[in-house]
Protein backbone atom coordinates (compact mmCIF):
# COMPACT_ATOMS: atom_id res chain seq x y z
CA UNK A 1 0.00 0.00 0.00
CA UNK A 2 1.40 3.40 -1.01
CA UNK A 3 0.65 6.84 0.35
CA UNK A 4 -0.19 9.95 -1.71
CA UNK A 5 2.37 12.65 -2.24
CA UNK A 6 2.34 15.67 0.08
CA UNK A 7 4.38 18.86 0.08
CA UNK A 8 6.79 19.05 3.02
CA UNK A 9 6.33 21.76 5.62
CA UNK A 10 8.80 24.67 5.56
CA UNK A 11 11.82 23.89 7.70
CA UNK A 12 12.17 27.23 9.48
CA UNK A 13 14.31 27.91 12.54
CA UNK A 14 11.27 27.49 14.77
CA UNK A 15 10.41 24.20 13.05
CA UNK A 16 14.02 22.99 13.27
CA UNK A 17 14.48 23.74 16.97
CA UNK A 18 12.54 20.74 18.41
CA UNK A 19 14.30 18.25 16.10
CA UNK A 20 17.75 19.73 16.76
CA UNK A 21 17.10 19.79 20.51
CA UNK A 22 15.85 16.20 20.49
CA UNK A 23 18.89 15.03 18.54
CA UNK A 24 21.20 16.90 20.91
CA UNK A 25 19.54 15.31 23.96
CA UNK A 26 19.81 11.80 22.47
CA UNK A 27 23.47 12.19 21.49
CA UNK A 28 24.50 13.75 24.81
CA UNK A 29 22.61 11.13 26.82
CA UNK A 30 24.04 8.27 24.77
CA UNK A 31 27.62 9.52 25.13
CA UNK A 32 27.17 9.72 28.90
CA UNK A 33 25.27 6.45 29.34
CA UNK A 34 27.73 4.49 27.19
CA UNK A 35 30.13 4.76 30.14
CA UNK A 36 27.82 2.70 32.38
CA UNK A 37 27.58 -1.08 31.83
CA UNK A 38 24.24 -2.81 32.23
CA UNK A 39 24.67 -4.46 35.62
CA UNK A 40 22.42 -7.49 35.17
CA UNK A 41 22.49 -11.14 34.18
CA UNK A 42 20.34 -13.10 31.76
CA UNK A 43 20.62 -16.81 32.44
CA UNK A 44 24.35 -17.37 32.61
CA UNK A 45 25.09 -14.28 30.53
CA UNK A 46 26.68 -11.30 32.26
CA UNK A 47 25.15 -8.35 30.41
CA UNK A 48 27.74 -5.97 31.82
CA UNK A 49 30.28 -7.67 29.53
CA UNK A 50 28.15 -6.90 26.48
CA UNK A 51 26.07 -3.77 26.96
CA UNK A 52 26.00 -0.27 28.31
CA UNK A 53 22.91 1.84 28.94
CA UNK A 54 23.83 3.91 25.90
CA UNK A 55 22.74 1.06 23.63
CA UNK A 56 19.14 1.71 24.71
CA UNK A 57 19.11 5.46 24.06
CA UNK A 58 21.12 5.72 20.84
CA UNK A 59 18.43 4.21 18.53
CA UNK A 60 16.18 7.15 19.44
CA UNK A 61 18.41 9.22 17.15
CA UNK A 62 16.97 7.28 14.21
CA UNK A 63 13.46 8.11 15.45
CA UNK A 64 14.33 11.82 15.39
CA UNK A 65 15.83 11.50 11.90
CA UNK A 66 12.88 9.54 10.52
CA UNK A 67 10.23 11.88 11.93
CA UNK A 68 12.10 14.90 10.55
CA UNK A 69 12.41 13.15 7.19
CA UNK A 70 8.71 12.27 7.17
CA UNK A 71 7.57 15.81 7.99
CA UNK A 72 10.13 18.04 6.33
CA UNK A 73 11.93 15.89 3.76
CA UNK A 74 15.45 14.45 3.45
CA UNK A 75 17.20 17.80 3.15
CA UNK A 76 15.93 18.92 6.53
CA UNK A 77 16.79 15.54 8.06
CA UNK A 78 20.38 15.87 6.84
CA UNK A 79 20.69 19.25 8.59
CA UNK A 80 19.56 17.70 11.88
CA UNK A 81 22.02 14.83 11.40
CA UNK A 82 24.90 17.28 10.92
CA UNK A 83 24.12 18.74 14.34
CA UNK A 84 24.18 15.26 15.84
CA UNK A 85 27.43 14.48 14.03
CA UNK A 86 29.14 17.57 15.43
CA UNK A 87 27.95 16.75 18.94
CA UNK A 88 29.00 13.11 18.62
CA UNK A 89 32.54 14.09 17.67
CA UNK A 90 32.92 16.82 20.28
CA UNK A 91 31.52 14.72 23.11
CA UNK A 92 33.60 11.70 22.13
CA UNK A 93 36.78 13.79 22.12
CA UNK A 94 35.88 15.07 25.58
CA UNK A 95 34.67 11.79 27.07
CA UNK A 96 36.81 9.24 25.24
CA UNK A 97 39.87 8.89 23.00
CA UNK A 98 40.47 10.47 19.57
CA UNK A 99 40.04 7.02 18.01
CA UNK A 100 36.63 6.61 19.63
CA UNK A 101 35.74 10.12 18.42
CA UNK A 102 36.61 9.20 14.83
CA UNK A 103 34.69 5.94 15.10
CA UNK A 104 31.66 7.55 16.74
CA UNK A 105 31.46 10.48 14.34
CA UNK A 106 32.03 8.39 11.22
CA UNK A 107 29.50 5.74 12.22
CA UNK A 108 26.89 8.32 13.22
CA UNK A 109 27.19 10.33 10.01
CA UNK A 110 27.29 7.43 7.55
CA UNK A 111 24.54 5.46 9.28
CA UNK A 112 22.15 8.39 9.45
CA UNK A 113 22.77 9.43 5.85
CA UNK A 114 21.97 5.86 4.83
CA UNK A 115 18.86 5.95 7.03
CA UNK A 116 17.68 9.13 5.32
CA UNK A 117 18.27 7.78 1.81
CA UNK A 118 16.53 4.45 2.43
CA UNK A 119 13.63 6.08 4.27
CA UNK A 120 13.10 8.52 1.39
CA UNK A 121 12.91 5.66 -1.12
CA UNK A 122 10.30 3.81 0.97
CA UNK A 123 8.28 6.70 2.42
CA UNK A 124 5.25 6.15 0.16
CA UNK A 125 4.72 2.55 1.24
CA UNK A 126 2.91 1.35 4.36
CA UNK A 127 3.79 3.46 7.41
CA UNK A 128 6.10 1.01 9.20
CA UNK A 129 8.22 -0.10 6.22
CA UNK A 130 10.39 2.99 5.81
CA UNK A 131 11.44 3.36 9.48
CA UNK A 132 11.84 -0.40 9.99
CA UNK A 133 14.03 -1.04 6.95
CA UNK A 134 16.03 2.19 7.15
CA UNK A 135 16.75 1.78 10.88
CA UNK A 136 17.79 -1.85 10.45
CA UNK A 137 20.19 -1.15 7.58
CA UNK A 138 21.55 1.93 9.33
CA UNK A 139 22.07 -0.03 12.56
CA UNK A 140 24.09 -2.65 10.67
CA UNK A 141 26.31 0.03 9.16
CA UNK A 142 26.62 1.92 12.45
CA UNK A 143 27.66 -1.22 14.34
CA UNK A 144 30.18 -2.37 11.73
CA UNK A 145 31.76 1.07 11.35
CA UNK A 146 31.90 2.00 15.03
CA UNK A 147 33.25 -1.25 16.42
CA UNK A 148 35.49 -1.88 13.43
CA UNK A 149 37.09 1.56 13.60
CA UNK A 150 37.13 1.77 17.40
CA UNK A 151 38.58 -1.60 18.28
CA UNK A 152 39.69 -3.82 15.40
CA UNK A 153 43.40 -4.45 14.98
CA UNK A 154 43.03 -3.79 11.25
CA UNK A 155 42.29 -0.11 11.96
CA UNK A 156 45.05 0.35 14.56
CA UNK A 157 47.85 1.22 12.07
CA UNK A 158 45.64 3.99 10.67
CA UNK A 159 44.01 5.32 13.84
CA UNK A 160 46.48 4.22 16.53
CA UNK A 161 45.68 3.52 20.19
CA UNK A 162 44.86 -0.16 20.20
CA UNK A 163 42.70 -1.35 23.10
CA UNK A 164 44.31 -4.56 24.36
CA UNK A 165 41.32 -5.51 26.50
CA UNK A 166 38.89 -5.08 23.59
CA UNK A 167 41.04 -7.11 21.22
CA UNK A 168 41.89 -9.90 23.66
CA UNK A 169 40.26 -13.28 23.06
CA UNK A 170 37.25 -14.25 25.16
CA UNK A 171 34.35 -16.71 24.84
CA UNK A 172 31.91 -15.25 22.32
CA UNK A 173 29.04 -13.55 24.17
CA UNK A 174 30.57 -14.93 27.35
CA UNK A 175 28.87 -18.32 26.94
CA UNK A 176 30.22 -20.02 23.80
CA UNK A 177 33.42 -22.05 23.71
CA UNK A 178 34.55 -20.22 20.57
CA UNK A 179 36.99 -17.48 21.56
CA UNK A 180 36.98 -14.27 19.55
CA UNK A 181 38.14 -10.70 20.15
CA UNK A 182 36.04 -9.28 22.97
CA UNK A 183 34.77 -6.36 20.89
CA UNK A 184 32.88 -8.75 18.61
CA UNK A 185 30.72 -9.76 21.57
CA UNK A 186 30.16 -6.10 22.37
CA UNK A 187 29.13 -5.47 18.76
CA UNK A 188 26.71 -8.41 18.74
CA UNK A 189 25.08 -7.30 21.99
CA UNK A 190 24.88 -3.69 20.84
CA UNK A 191 23.31 -4.63 17.50
CA UNK A 192 20.73 -6.90 19.13
CA UNK A 193 19.59 -4.11 21.43
CA UNK A 194 19.47 -1.63 18.54
CA UNK A 195 17.07 -3.90 16.65
CA UNK A 196 14.85 -4.46 19.70
CA UNK A 197 14.70 -0.78 20.57
CA UNK A 198 14.11 0.21 16.94
CA UNK A 199 11.14 -2.17 16.83
CA UNK A 200 9.75 -0.72 20.07
CA UNK A 201 10.15 2.83 18.74
CA UNK A 202 7.76 2.05 15.90
CA UNK A 203 4.99 2.58 18.47
CA UNK A 204 5.78 6.26 19.26
CA UNK A 205 6.60 6.77 15.57
CA UNK A 206 3.10 5.60 14.60
CA UNK A 207 1.47 7.73 17.29
CA UNK A 208 3.35 10.84 16.18
CA UNK A 209 2.29 10.34 12.57
CA UNK A 210 -1.15 11.49 13.69
CA UNK A 211 0.22 15.04 13.92
CA UNK A 212 2.62 14.82 10.97
CA UNK A 213 1.93 15.12 7.25
CA UNK A 214 4.12 12.69 5.26
CA UNK A 215 6.64 14.45 3.05
CA UNK A 216 7.08 13.30 -0.57
CA UNK A 217 9.99 12.11 -2.59
CA UNK A 218 10.99 13.77 -5.82
CA UNK A 219 11.07 17.38 -6.90
CA UNK A 220 8.93 18.78 -4.10
CA UNK A 221 10.96 17.33 -1.23
CA UNK A 222 13.26 19.51 0.78
CA UNK A 223 16.65 18.37 -0.55
CA UNK A 224 18.72 21.41 0.31
Give me the domain span that covers residue 55: 15-211
Neighbours of 170 (CB within 10 A): 17
Task: Tell me, yes or no, whether 146 lies in a domain.
Answer: yes
Tell me which DSSP letter residue 218 carries: S
142: nearest Cα among 82, 59, 23? 59
SS3 of residue 169 by DSSP: strand
The domain that holds 120 is classified in CATH as 1.10.1760
127: nearest Cα among 66, 180, 188, 169? 66
pLDDT in tens, 117-163: 999 999 989 999 999 999 999 999 999 999 999 888 887 777 766 67
Task: Tell me, yes or no, whether 58 lies in a domain.
Answer: yes
Give rounded-to-5 percent helix, strand, coil for the chain. Answer: 70, 5, 25
Task: Tell me, yes or no, whether 216 lies in a domain.
Answer: no
Number of domains in the chain: 1
Min mean pLDDT across 8-22, 56-70, 109-123 is at 8-22
Task: Tell me, yes or no, whether 5 lies in a domain.
Answer: no
Q: Under a CB-based contact definition with an 8 Å cutoff, are residues 31 and 91 in contact? A: yes
pLDDT in tens, 159-212: 766 678 788 888 888 778 899 988 898 899 999 999 999 999 999 999 998 877
What does the alpha-carbon distance between residue 212 and residue 209 come to, in Å, rounded to a whole number? 5
What does the alpha-carbon distance between residue 10 and residue 154 come to, in Å, rounded to a whole number? 45
Model pTM?
0.84
SS3 of residue 48 by DSSP: helix
Partners of residue 41 on adjacent β-strands: 46
The residue-averaged pLDDT of 18-26 equals: 87
77: nearest Cα among 106, 107, 120, 108? 120
What does the alpha-carbon distance between residue 67 and residue 209 come to, in Å, rounded to a whole number? 8
Task: Tell me, yes or no, whether 221 lies in a domain.
Answer: no
Q: Under a CB-based contact definition with an 8 Å cutoff, are residues 99 and 150 in contact? A: yes
Task: Tell me, yes or no, whether 7 lies in a domain.
Answer: no
Q: Is the pLDDT of residue 215 over 50?
A: no
Task: Tell me, yes or no, whether 197 lies in a domain.
Answer: yes
**Would you give the distance in Å from CA 197 to the centre of its chain?**
11
Task: Tell me, yes or no, whether 63 lies in a domain.
Answer: yes
The residue-averaged pLDDT of 26-51 equals: 82
Amino acid sequence: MTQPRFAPAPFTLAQAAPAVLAMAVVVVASNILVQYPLDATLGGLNLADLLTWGAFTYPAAFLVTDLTNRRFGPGAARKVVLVGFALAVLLSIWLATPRIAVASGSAFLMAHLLDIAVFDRLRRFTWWLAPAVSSTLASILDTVLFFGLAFSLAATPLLGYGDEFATSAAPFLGVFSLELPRWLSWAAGDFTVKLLVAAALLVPYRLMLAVLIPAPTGENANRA
